[in-house]
């Protein structure tokens, strides 16, 4: 069954959503790992993708390709994760302060 037909089926019977998960889980895991390179976060991010897909399924245009839509969602989830991760500073790292007058500037350069 084509993805677009499956979406129509899921709209009638939400219990069939597991078929989308079965069809795309491994592919999304590989794609997100390629983007973020962190095995520990893959499963949470893939789950977030499926939640977003489920919530927005009625907004999907069945005249378009579903795989492109779900991978765009996965891409956006991964990019948002990377943006958030970039802002996090590991406080166990040693931060070398070159100039005590510009502590904030030195910290900003480090993060």
Residue 33: pLDDT band (50, 70, 90) is: very high
Domain ranges (residues) in the chain: 3-110
Question: What is the b/e burial string over 79-108, where b = at least 16 CB atoms within 10 angstroms of the residue's CB?
Answer: eebeeeeeeeeeeeeeeeeeeeeeeeeeee
User: What is the separation of C-alpha 51 from the centre of its chain, rounded to a whole number of angstroms?
Assistant: 11
Which residue's entry shows tokens 């592919």? Answer: 27
Tell me: the pLDDT tens digits for 40-75?
899 999 999 999 999 999 999 888 899 999 999 999
Looking at the chain, the whole-number percentage of residues with pLDDT higher than 90 is 50
| pTM of the predicted protein model | 0.74
CATH architecture of 3-110: Orthogonal Bundle (1.10)
């Amino acid at each position: 069954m084509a993805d677009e037909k499956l979406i129509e089926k899921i709209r009638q019977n939400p219990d069939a959503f597991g078929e989308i998960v079965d069809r795309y889980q491994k592919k999304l895991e590989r794609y997100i790992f390629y983007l973020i390179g962190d095995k520990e976060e893959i499963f949470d991010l893939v789950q977030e993708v499926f939640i977003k897909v489920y919530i927005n399924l009625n907004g999907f245009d069945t005249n378009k390709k579903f795989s492109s839509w779900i991978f765009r969602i996965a891409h956006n989830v991964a990019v948002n994760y990377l943006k958030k991760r970039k802002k996090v500073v590991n406080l166990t790292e040693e931060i070398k302060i070159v100039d005590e007058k510009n502590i904030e500037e030195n910290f900003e350069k480090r993060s």
